Amino acid sequence: MTTYNAINTGYLASDNEVKVGTDTRLLVTPSTFTTYTSDMVMTGFISWSAGGPYFDDTTLGTFSLLVGGTGYIKGKLISWSGSQDYTGMTAGDTYYIYIDDTGTIGAATSRTDALFEDYIVLFECMRDSTPGTNNQITVKENHPYNFQTDASNFLHNTIGPVIESYNNGANIAINGTQGVQIDGADVLADHGLETTIPDSGSSAVTWIKMYTDGSGKWARQNATNTFTGFYNNAGTPTALSANKYGIYTLYASKDNLNTSAPVYFAVLDTSQYNTANAADSAITAGNTATISNELAELELCRLGYIIYSESSNAIVEVIISKSTVRSSFTTSGSNQANLINTITTNFDGWLSSADTTVQAALDTLDDSQRLTEETTISANLEINKGVIANNVALVTLTLPTTASVGDTLEVVGKGAGGWLIAQNAGQSIHFISSTTTVGVGGSLASSQQYDAIKMVCTVADTEFTVVSSSGNITIV
- Per-residue pLDDT at 366: 62
Integer CA distances (angstroms), 453 to 233, 261, 288, 379, in order: 49, 57, 47, 17
One-letter amino acid of 383? I
- Per-residue pLDDT at 348: 61
Measured between its terminal Cα atoms, the distance across the chain in Å is: 117
Mean pLDDT confidence for 240-266: 97
- Per-residue pLDDT at 255: 97
- Per-residue pLDDT at 358: 66
Mean pLDDT confidence for 96-120: 96
- Per-residue pLDDT at 12: 42
> Quick one: pLDDT band at residue 8, thresholds 50, 70, 90?
very low
pLDDT tens sequence across 329-385: 444 333 444 444 556 666 666 666 666 666 666 666 666 657 889 999 999 998 888
pLDDT tens sequence across 172-204: 999 999 999 999 999 999 988 999 999 999 999
Mean pLDDT confidence for 411-434: 96
Considering only CA atoms, which of 436, 391, 443 is closest in space to residue 416? 391
Residue 225 pLDDT greater than 90, yes or no:
yes
Query: Phi/psi at 187 (nearest 5 deg)?
Result: -125, 135
- Per-residue pLDDT at 81: 98
Integer CA distances (angstroms), 188 to 63, 123, 170, 250, 339, in order: 25, 16, 9, 14, 25
pLDDT tens sequence across 288-309: 999 999 999 999 999 999 999 9
- Per-residue pLDDT at 39: 55
CA distance 457 to 303: 46
To the nearest whole percent, how much of the chain has pLDDT over 90? 73
CA distance 104 to 249: 38
Mean pLDDT confidence for 83-102: 97
- Per-residue pLDDT at 42: 85
pTM beyond 0.95: the answer is: no
> Quick one: pLDDT band at residue 13, thresholds 50, 70, 90?
very low
- Per-residue pLDDT at 323: 85
- Per-residue pLDDT at 324: 78
The residue among 205 and 365 whose pLDDT is bigger is 205
Who contacts 140 (Cβ-Cβ below 8 Å, separation ≥6)? Answer: 122, 123, 124, 193, 195, 254, 255, 256, 257
- Per-residue pLDDT at 444: 96
The residue among 344 and 19 whose pLDDT is bigger is 344
Average pLDDT of the chain to the nearest whole number: 87
pLDDT tens sequence across 381-420: 988 888 999 999 999 999 999 998 988 999 999 999 999 9
Percent helix / strand / coil, the chain, rounded to 5:
10, 40, 50
Render 203-260 in DSSP notation, one character per residue: -PPPEEEEEE-TTS-EEEEEEES----EEEETTEEEEPPTT-EEEEEEEE----SSSS
The residue among 37 and 332 whose pLDDT is bigger is 37
- Per-residue pLDDT at 152: 84
Tell me whether strands 463-470 and 428-431 are parallel, antiparallel or unpaired: parallel
Mean pLDDT confidence for 429-445: 95
- Per-residue pLDDT at 230: 98
